[in-house]
Each structure stands twice: as structure tokens, then as C-alpha cells.
Structure 1
């Protein structure tokens, strides 16, 4: 019995399952890369503002976005994927510059931009924190969110083509709700092992934050009477 006890005492016991270690690594890498891409995006947006860059045509913006997103997806399992992520987020940051310039030129523009930034940060931290602490599984939201995003995308194109301001405002409110759900869903996917690629997780969360900010800014502009 003594020998058996000694054997058990000397046997290493892993207190943390491999799945938990993998999840923590993906989560850590995702938030690290997300922070860096947000900083880089802010840098390229600042360049666009300072240089008074004109807005890109929406077709060019869509082509650049989907093209770079395709590249990121193809390279997600290699080191080149990191460069592709920064190319995508830098491009989106640059497209954000002219929008910021438009709002900053308003009498209360700086306040609107800061309020939108604060609101975006508060929503992201609150929802991601809730998903992390509660550890609830929000995978059931995936199909609903994908359909909702497709509907919002088509509606936004219609609002641009037909110059329908009320439809544009409704789409912005819809996008804010959808992006809030995306934060819960993507964070849950990382926690429960549904997403093991931190590059793709970063891109999803970045696009979520990007869309949250733009649509919050638009709604705040309308509410202030300056849009």
C-alpha cells in the first residue's frame, strides 16, 4: 500500500485540461491582436483625417473589404495571415477617416465622436465580459445573426441607392443589435472551443467593433440634428 501511495504521490496531475489551455491561448492571442489592429486602424484613420482624404466610392470600399477578407481567410493558418489582418484593418481604418472628418467638422463633432467611441467600448467590454464570466453558450445565435446581417447589408445598399434616410437609420439600429449579438456569439465560440483560430476571431471582433462605432455615430448624429 505504501508503494502504491508513493507512486500516486509522484505521478504528475494536470489540473488544467488541454482544451482549457487551448481556449485560454486563443482568447489571449485574440485580444492581443485585436488591440494591435485597433491601434493600427486608428493610425490609418488619423492619416486619412490629417491628409483630408476624400471618401472612397462605396463599390471600391466593398471590393477592398471583401477582397482582403478573402485573403485573410485563405492565409489564416500561416504567418502571412497576420499581415493580411493588418492590411484589412488598416484599409478599413483609412475608409473611416473621411467619415470622421465629416463629423469632426460639425459644431459638436468631437463630442459625437468621443461619445460613439465610449459607447462602443462600453458595449464591447460589457458583453464580452458577460460572456466570459457567465460562460453561457451562445452558439444558438449563429444562424439568426448571419441571416440578420445579410438582411441589414441588403437594406443598407437599398438605402444608399434610393437615398432613403429613415431606412438608413433603421438599418443602423438593427446593425447595433446584431453586432451586440455577434460579440456574445464570438466570445462564446472562443470559450467553448467553437473557434480555435485567433486570426479569424480577431477579424470577427474587429469588424463588429468597427460597425458598432459607425452606426452609433450615425444615430448620435441624427439625434443631435447634425446628420
Structure 2
């Protein structure tokens, strides 16, 4: 009887994990598509960088202060779409800048292709092996703090006229590795039952994809020789 109960519990847990995984990828696909639409609109209307910055801050405010209170309800879906829509629109001025370069279309396509390749390769690895990457949490959090401090430092240095282009490239490279690590970590949490809320899981993966794309875009733009 105990063995039957254990098997039933295991099967039930497996079904729940698969449900969270399925819902996460459906919502992730929808939010990425919505971001692409809002980004296209922002580019069409010529959204300025100042407005884009305000949108980014508003998006962060949503996931810091609003999403934690709504993640377990239908309102959480509205918050996620508002969040991803704002971030998508805020990317408009950046894409407009790169597309205005001589080889801008190629750079953007390479960044998109690189982002897709990294995401599907890493996610596929975790889904296939079911490996637990929870041990990476401390390293990833520490790396994220270091990157944030470095960004603040470069901003302050820039105010005093210090040349920080090389440091920005190093930070972008670090972000690529960090976001790759977060994709492994977040996917393994879903697969191994550590994350049971598909809305929160979607936000984590979306942020990794978004930041990975932005970092690759910066690196490819720099090495393209036109930045």
C-alpha cells in the first residue's frame, strides 16, 4: 500500500511539473511575441531614449512591487503582459539605432539567432538530462551583484569623462554568461519541481532572454566596427 501511494505521489508530481513547464513555455512564447509587437510600435513612432528608460523603470516596478501580490491570480497574467510590453517598447530606440548602421540588419539577426540558439540549446540540455543546477544560485546572484555594481561604476565614471567603452564590452560579455547560467538554473528549477508558479517561471526566463539578446546586440555591434 505504501509503495502504491509513493508511486501515485510521484506520478502526480510529474504531471504537475509537466503542467508548469507547458504553461511556462506557452506564456513565454506569448510574451515574447507581444514584446516584439510593442517594440515594433515604439520604433514606428520614434520612441525616445528618455521615454524608453521610464518604461524600463516602470516595468521593474511592476515585477518588484505588483507581481509578487498577483502571481497566484489571473491578475498576474495582466501584470506579466504589461511588464513584457513595456520592456519590449523600451528596446525600440536601441534597435532603431542598430538598424540605422550600415550592417545593422545583419547584427540584429545575428543577435536574435544567437539568443535563440543559446536558449534552445541550454533548455534542451536541462529538459533532456533533468540535471539539477540549483548549486549555481550563489554564483549567479554574486555575479549579478558584481555586474550591477560595475554598471553603476561605469555610469559614474562616464559622468567624469572616463573612457569606458572597453569596460562596457566586458560587462556585456559577463551578462551573456550570467544569463546563460540563469537559463540553466531557472529551467532546472521547473523540471525538478523547485518552481511551481508558471507566471514567476516565465518572468525569470523572459528576463534572461531579454538581457541575453541586449548583451549580444551590444557585443556584435561593437565588433561590427560601427559602434
When normalised by structure 2's length, the TM-score is 0.90
How is 1:123-202 mapped onto 2 (pairs within 5 angstroms)?
123-163=118-158, 164-202=164-202
**Does structure 2 conserve the Cα–Cα contact (< 8 Å) formed by 1:149 and 1:178?**
yes
Q: CA RMSD in A?
A: 1.6
Equivalent residue number for residue 4 of structure 2: none
Of 10, 13, 27 in structure 2, the residue corresponding to residue 19 of structure 1 is 13
Equivalent residue number for residue 33 of structure 1: 27
Q: Give the gaps of 5 or more residues in structure 1.
A: 1-12
**Moved beyond 3 Å, runs of 4+:** 13-16
Equivalent residue number for residue 107 of structure 1: 102
**Does structure 1 conserve the Cα–Cα contact (< 8 Å) formed by 2:52 and 2:90?**
no
Alpha-carbon distance in 1 for matches of 2:146, 2:67: 24
The count of corresponding residues between Structure 1 and Structure 2 is: 215
How is 1:47-62 mapped onto 2 (pairs within 5 angstroms)?
47-56=41-50, 60-61=54-55
Equivalent residue number for residue 58 of structure 2: 64
**Does structure 1 conserve the Cα–Cα contact (< 8 Å) formed by 2:60 and 2:83?**
no
Q: How far 1:154 moved relative to its partner?
A: 1.8
**Does structure 2 conserve the Cα–Cα contact (< 8 Å) formed by 1:136 and 1:188?**
yes
**Does structure 2 conserve the Cα–Cα contact (< 8 Å) formed by 1:116 and 1:213?**
yes
Equivalent residue number for residue 220 of structure 1: 220
Q: Give the gaps of 5 or more residues in structure 2.
A: 1-6, 159-163
Q: How far 1:65 moved relative to its partner?
A: 3.0
Higher Rg of the two aligned structures: 1
Structure 1, 142-151 or 34-43: larger mean CA deviation: 142-151
Q: How far 1:16 moved relative to its partner?
A: 6.4
Structure 1, 60-69 or 145-154: larger mean CA deviation: 60-69
